Amino acid sequence: MSDSEFSDKSILRSWHKNAAPWIRAIGEGDIASRKLVTDGAIVDAVLQRQPATVLDIGCGEGWLARALAERGPEVWGIDAVPELIGAAQHRAGPRERYRPLSYEALAAGEMRRRFDLLVCNFSLLGGESVEGIFAASGKLLNPGGHLVVQTLHPMVTCGDADYRDGWRPGSWAGFSGDFSEPAPWYFRTLESWLRLVRRAGLRLEEMKEPLHPETGKPASLILVATPIL
């Protein structure tokens, strides 16, 4: 993994730096599209599959794991940033478990358990690290399990740049001034997301584009995939 300005490592450097303002922003419901659309959309997409066990990959301060665990499943959360995992642990209920773990370590087999469902909510932002998660998903899932990914919608977030895969500079526009050093992110076209699914030996079971009620545009893209038997 390179340590250039545009790399998986620089994404993590940014999250280490911005953990405290992120915990505050999520706690105070600062991201309007999450409250209006995407929080509910990911909770519904997961619960529809009725998993008994869930792994929240890149769980951050744990809001999704908490929301799911309150509704039934046992939920584990991993994230590479100890401050975020600490915040999640601090509020954890009896059906939640958290571990500081990077995607690279997860892909290398350090989680010696399988789950009914893996969920990644706006947490697959990088290059090789994301390919590693897709490739490892089969080994982390119980038979008949699902990988559920919510991410930025490629058509909506492409902007004026060419519609092709590649690193893009990050921005904290719309967030408080407490944030610094925005994380770069790896833009993927829809075709590229579907290729990731196929190459990982998964079959796309469902694709959703939850609409933002104010803009009428998709607030996100949700992919639900399951290992090919």
Ligand X SMILES: C[S@@+](CC[C@H](N)C(=O)[O-])C[C@H]1O[C@@H](n2cnc3c(N)ncnc32)[C@H](O)[C@@H]1O
Between CA 123 and CA 26 the distance in angstroms is 14
Say whether residue 221 binds ligand X (CB under 6 A): no
Residue (84 or 141) nearer to ligand X, CB: 84
Say whether residue 102 binds ligand X (CB under 6 A): yes
Supply 207's token pair: 């694709």
Say whether residue 98 binds ligand X (CB under 6 A): no
Say whether residue 210 binds ligand X (CB under 6 A): no
Binding piece for ligand X, criterion CB under 6 A, among 117-125, 164-172, 189-197, 200-208: 117-125
Say whether residue 77 binds ligand X (CB under 6 A): no
On whether the CB atoms of residues 221 and 45 are closer than 8 A, the answer is no
Say whether residue 59 binds ligand X (CB under 6 A): yes
Q: Restricting to residues 140-169, which ones interact with ligand X according to CB under 6 A? A: none
Between CA 126 and CA 51 the distance in angstroms is 27
Say whether residue 132 binds ligand X (CB under 6 A): no
Site string for ligand X, 78-97 (x = CB under 6 A): -xxx--x-------------
On whether the CB atoms of residues 58 and 103 are closer than 8 A, the answer is yes
Say whether residue 129 binds ligand X (CB under 6 A): yes
Count the residues of the shown chain that bind ligand X, applying the rule CB under 6 A: 22
One-letter amino acid at 27 equals G
Supply 224's token pair: 């639900």
Say whether residue 220 binds ligand X (CB under 6 A): no
Backbone angles phi, psi at 210, to 5 degrees: -60, 130
Residue (144 or 166) nearer to ligand X, CB: 166
* The residue count for the chain: 229
On whether the CB atoms of residues 194 and 221 are closer than 8 A, the answer is no
Say whether residue 103 binds ligand X (CB under 6 A): yes
Say whether residue 179 binds ligand X (CB under 6 A): no
Alpha helices in the chain (DSSP H): 8-27, 32-33, 39-47, 63-69, 82-90, 103-107, 128-140, 154-157, 190-199
Which residues are near ligand X by CB under 6 A? 8, 11-12, 15, 26, 58-60, 63-64, 79-81, 84, 102-103, 121-123, 125-126, 129
